[in-house]
Amino acid sequence: MQLTAEVTAVSDPIDVSTSAEPAPSDPLADAIARERRILARLREALVALEPGVPPELIRGETLEEIEASFEAARALAERARAAAAQALRLPAGAPPRTAPAAASPFEKIRAGLTPRTD
């Protein structure tokens, strides 16, 4: 009896109609794909908002991770800007000269007798 049931099951034709139709989409997979597209657009918008922030520093798979990495990248860019601005304030080379009116007469005579190396 059991052998007959197995032979009947094997000899039944394969239902081809289900393989020709596209498989119904998985709602979970669709939601995950949609979320990834939204997060990619968010990254693009954040890079456009702050062009000084390196885009490779904005990472994450969730909204919170992307926002946290963006804030860290923004802070890094701000520190780099501040360091560059501080470096520009330092004089390059010799210290700045004092105005002649502020110097004493003795300092003016010494400055006049000192050979220039310009």
7 pLDDT band, cuts 50/70/90, is very low
Residue where the block lists tokens 């109609």: 17
Per residue in 52-102, pLDDT (tens digit) is: 898 999 999 999 999 999 999 999 999 999 988 887 776 666 666 666 677
Question: Does residue 66 lie within any of the structural domains?
Answer: yes
Q: What is the band of 105 on the pLDDT scale with cuts at 50, 70, 90? A: confident
- The answer to whether the CB of 58 falls within 8 A of the CB of 69 is yes
Per the domain annotation, does 42 fall within a domain? yes
Note whether residue 2 is domain-resident: no
Q: Which residues contact 37 (CB under 8 A, 6 or more apart)?
A: none
How far from each other are the two terminal CA atoms of the chain, in whole angstroms?
Answer: 113
Looking at the structure of the chain, the number of domains it has is: 1
Q: Is residue 21 in a domain?
A: no
Alpha-helix residue ranges (DSSP H) falling in 1-118: 2-11, 17-20, 27-49, 63-89, 105-113
pTM of the entire predicted model: 0.52
Give CA torsion, residues 76, 81, 83, 87, to 10 deg: 160
Instruction: Dig out the tokens for 22 from the structure.
Output: 């596209």
The domain of 40 spans 29-90
Query: What integer pLDDT is reported at residue 86 of this predicted model?
Result: 81
Q: What is the pLDDT of residues 22-61, one digit of tens each?
A: 456 788 999 999 999 999 999 999 999 998 898 999 999 9
**Within a domain: 114:** no
- The yes-or-no verdict on residue 9 having pLDDT over 90 is no
Within a domain: 79? yes
